[in-house]
Amino acid sequence: MLPLIMSDISYSKRQRLCWTKTRFLNSVADGRAFPYAGKPQVAVAGHSNVGKSSLLNALFGRKGLAKTSKSPGCTRLLNVFDVDGFLLLIDLPGYGFARASKHEQRAWSGLIENYLLDNPDLKLVLSLLDIRHGPKKNDLQLIEWLNAAGLRWLPVATKADKLSGNARSKRLKEMTKALGGMLTPLATSANDGRGIEELRHLIEREVFAAF
Ligand SMILES: Nc1nc2c(ncn2[C@@H]2O[C@H](COP(=O)(O)OP(=O)(O)OP(=O)(O)O)[C@@H](O)[C@H]2O)c(=O)[nH]1
Ligand SMILES: [Mg+2]
């Protein structure tokens, strides 16, 4: 009993995480047997190659901790990172990878669904959308699915450095409309650091509000 009470107290006192104090825990192959219960979790979802692993490295301020690749389909398991001993960030396999076989695509979506469903520790899902292309049909399907499952989600536009100021604002407006008009994606770039500190704050607010 006592350790639980003590950890609740330390959560309520904290407002910020030390993001550079992140370590890779493990790769998990079965979403139903997720071995790290008890800590709040934030999952990063999105199309293959949208920049999930790069965004995580930018949040951690650590190059190469999450494996990135120019060729899509690099992340095929649930890769689990522990931030500052308090929070778990989960790098999900990308969906919509055209060159994967139907069998592989089904296996990955099964892995993602099994992890997302019935997980009381999951506080937030970041829905990553490439600022140049998203939201695509399967992004909107995921968001619908998250809504139906009652999960909190936040749209995050990636690769914002690829567009100039005006084009960026125009795209963000279009994306907001395509998402139903309620939420404007946070523009981020793993390359120039745009939006990264703000995203850290948003995650902290969600996580600490839960305690
Ligand atoms: N210009 C730019 N390129 C980026 C950014 N983020 C990621 N990339 C590039 O996009 C490619 C894919 O990045 P990843 O982070 O591996 O993407 P992912 O979503 O984890 O991909 P999968 O694990 O295969 O689903 C790499 O070539 C990255 O260098 C960004 O903010 N700006
Ligand atoms: Mg990846």
Residue 118: its pLDDT value, please? 83
Specify if 147 maps to a domain.
yes
Q: Is residue 191 part of a domain?
A: yes
- Based on the structure, what is the number of domains in the chain? 1
Report pLDDT for 8.
Answer: 47
pLDDT at 185: 97
User: Is position 136 within any domain?
Assistant: yes
**CATH number of residue 70's parent domain:** 3.40.50.300
Confidence at residue 13, expressed as pLDDT on a 0 to 100 scale: 58
pLDDT for 79: 94
Q: Is residue 11 in some structural domain?
A: no
Regions of the chain with pLDDT less than 70: 1-14, 72-74, 98-99, 210-211
| CA-57 nearest atom, ligand 1 | 15
| 12 in a structural domain | no
Measure the CA–CA gap between 90 and 69, rounded to whole angstroms. Answer: 17
pTM, full prediction: 0.92
Q: What is the 3-state secondary structure (H, E, C) of the chain?
A: CHHHHHHHHHHHHCCCCCCCCEEEEEEECCHHHCCCCCCCEEEEEEECCCCHHHHHHHHHCCCCCCCCCCCCCCCCCEEEEEECCCEEEEECCCECCCCCCHHHHHHHHHHHHHHHCCCCCEEEEEEEEECCCCCCHHHHHHHHHHHHCCCCEEEEEECHHHCCHHHHHHHHHHHHHHCCCCCCCEECCCCCCCCHHHHHHHHHHHHHHCC
**Ligand 1 pocket at CB < 6 A:** 46, 48-54, 68-70, 72-75, 94, 158-159, 161-162, 189-191
- The answer to whether residue 7 is domain-embedded is no
Closest Cα to atom 10 of ligand 1: 51
pLDDT score of 104: 77
Question: What would the two tokens of residue 176 be?
Answer: 């907001």
In a domain, 5, yes or no: no
Range of the domain at 80: 21-209
